Amino acid sequence: MLQFSETKNGEVIATSLSVKYFAEYIDQTNLPSIDKKQIYELKVTAENSNYYYRGITTKILASDGEKYLIDILINTNSEKQMLENFTRTLSVGTIIVIVLSIFISWTIAKKAVTPVVKAYKKQTEFVQNASHELRTPLTIIQAKQELLLQSPGSKIIDKSEDIALTLNETRRLKKMITELMELARTDNNKSTIHKDKTDINKLAQEVIIPYQEMAKMQNKQMHLNVQCDKEINVDKNKIKQLIIILLDNALKYTEENDSIELDIHNRDERLFINVKDTGIGISDEGLKHIFERFYREDKARSREKGGTGLGLSIAHTIVKKHGGSIKLIHNKPKGTIAIVKI
């Protein structure tokens, strides 16, 4: 804190700081022009530095009867520096907040739009794949029917192969449409699960009997191992559909003398369904895409066997609706194992 006294004419007669440049500055300042009733500001420049002071003037009466003015000044450099630092920090902070706000807004917007874009792409891909898959059997049916029209006098026995092929494609087309409707209901959340206490042992026996007969006709072995000691709370029809899809795939992609095993058991309130075969198997790349709609590793082979590439997608949906998991792994030395946990 600085103190200096002056005469009424502004002449400095004393100062508490013996600093030459400050005294010279005061000498050059017209102090009487400063409002003595209010706090005032002073700026002193010396040696390329600025010094700021805040001052106030008061009157005193000396013992000799002379009146003097005393000015008390406080250095405010630290306050100004603090204010500058605060302003700078506030400006930088504001810029950072604005940048972060823009980035966060962009991230949130992108995250919000991503499911919409993904759903749109998925829907577009679904329509394209469905159109392609539906066009193939329709083309075959149309071609065979046109050939039949070219020979109106022919007997049925002469065109039995063409008729049989047309019927096969019709059945495949019907199956595909049914599966597409199932997936469409799932996409629209119209496919619901109705859980009830179900005797899995009895259900598995009912499902596997016709497949065991088909396996025997194709010179394949099919075994059932069911060990459920209590009823399980599941959607009976959906689980039946799931087992049929897995058995159908296993039967479809096995050769003569291959074996298929359906193993079902329960543990800790969970249902485990395993379908193991010694068939042609699937590649590592195929395992990554096996649950995608219309995915078939060998499309020509799948089409010959009546495959649509939708079965495992439906199986995946059924398992997810039950809150479970499904995966396919390699069976050693050959074949595939489907593992379901519900």
Each residue's pLDDT tens digit, 43-88: 777 677 788 888 787 777 777 777 777 777 788 888 888 988 999 9
Q: Residue 211 has which token pair?
A: 């497949």
pLDDT in tens, 199-224: 888 888 888 888 888 888 889 998 98
Give residue for tokens 């058995």.
247
Asked if 242 and 325 touch (Cβ cutoff 8 Å), the reply is no
pLDDT above 80 (res 125): no
Percent of the chain clearing pLDDT 90 (strictly above) = 14
Question: What is the predicted pLDDT for the residue at 9?
Answer: 56
Judge whether residue 42 has pLDDT over 80: no
Q: Of the ranges 88-97, 167-176, 298-307, which is most confident?
A: 88-97
Please say if the pLDDT value at position 188 is more than 80: no
CB-count exposure of residue 326 (10 Å: 0-12, 13-18, 19+):
buried
CA atoms of 184 and 120, how far apart (whole Å): 14
Task: Note the pLDDT of residue 25.
Answer: 54
CB atoms within 10 A of CB 155: 8
pLDDT, average across residues 229-242: 87
pTM above 0.85, yes or no: no
132 has pLDDT over 70? no
Question: How is residue 295 written in tokens?
Answer: 């995915």
Band of pLDDT at residue 180, cut at 50, 70 and 90 = confident
Give the pLDDT of residue 303.
Answer: 54
Residue burial 219-231, b: 16+ Cβ < 10 Å; e: rest: ebebebebebeee
Q: How confident is the model at residue 18 (pLDDT cuts 50, 70, 90)?
A: very low
**Which of 144, 179, 178 is closest to 159 using CA atoms?**
144
pLDDT reported for residue 337? 92
What is the per-residue pLDDT for 96? 94
What average pLDDT does range 308-334 have in this prediction?
87
Mean pLDDT of the chain: 80
| Burial of 263 from C-beta contacts in 10 A (0-12 / 13-18 / 19+) | middle
Using CA atoms, how far residue 161 sits from 152, 213, 227, 285, in Å, is 16, 25, 45, 37
Q: Is 9 exposed, middle or buried (0-12, 13-18, 19+ CB in 10 A)?
A: exposed
User: Can you tell me the distance from the alpha carbon of 51 to that of 41, in angstroms, rounded to the nearest whole number?
Assistant: 11
pLDDT at residue 14, as a whole number = 53
How far is residue 247's CA from residue 28's CA, in Å, rounded to a whole number? 106
Could you tell me the pLDDT band of residue 340, with boundaries at 50, 70 and 90? very high
Over residues 296-305, the mean pLDDT reads 59
What number is the average pLDDT over the span 24-42?
A: 60
Q: What is the distance between the alpha carbons of residues 205 and 217, in angstroms, rounded to a whole number?
A: 19
Strand 232-234 with 49-61, pairing: unpaired
- 3-state SS, residue 74: strand
Give the Å distances, CA to CA, from 105 to 93, 111, 115, 300, 321: 18, 10, 17, 48, 33
The alpha carbon of residue 176 and the mean position of all alpha carbons in its chain are separated, in whole angstroms, by 30
d(CA 311, CA 246) in angstroms, rounded, equals 8
Give the number of other CB atoms < 10 A from CB of residue 285. Answer: 9
2 pLDDT more than 60: no
| pLDDT over 90 at 91, yes or no | yes
Q: Which residue has the higher pLDDT, 128 or 31?
A: 128
Structure token pair of residue 306: 């009546």
Please give the pLDDT value at position 138.
82
Of 299, 294, 295, 317, residue with least CA distance to 176: 294
CA gap 341, 319 in Å, rounded? 8
State what percent of residues in the chain have pLDDT above 70.
Answer: 82
Q: What is the pLDDT of residues 257-269, one digit of tens each?
A: 899 999 999 888 8
Angle between helices 311-321 and 236-252 (to 10 degrees): 150
In this prediction, residue 32 carries a pLDDT of 46
pLDDT at 158 over 60: yes
- Looking at the DSSP bridge assignments, the partners of residue 197 are 233
Angstrom distance (rounded) from CA 232 to CA 330: 28
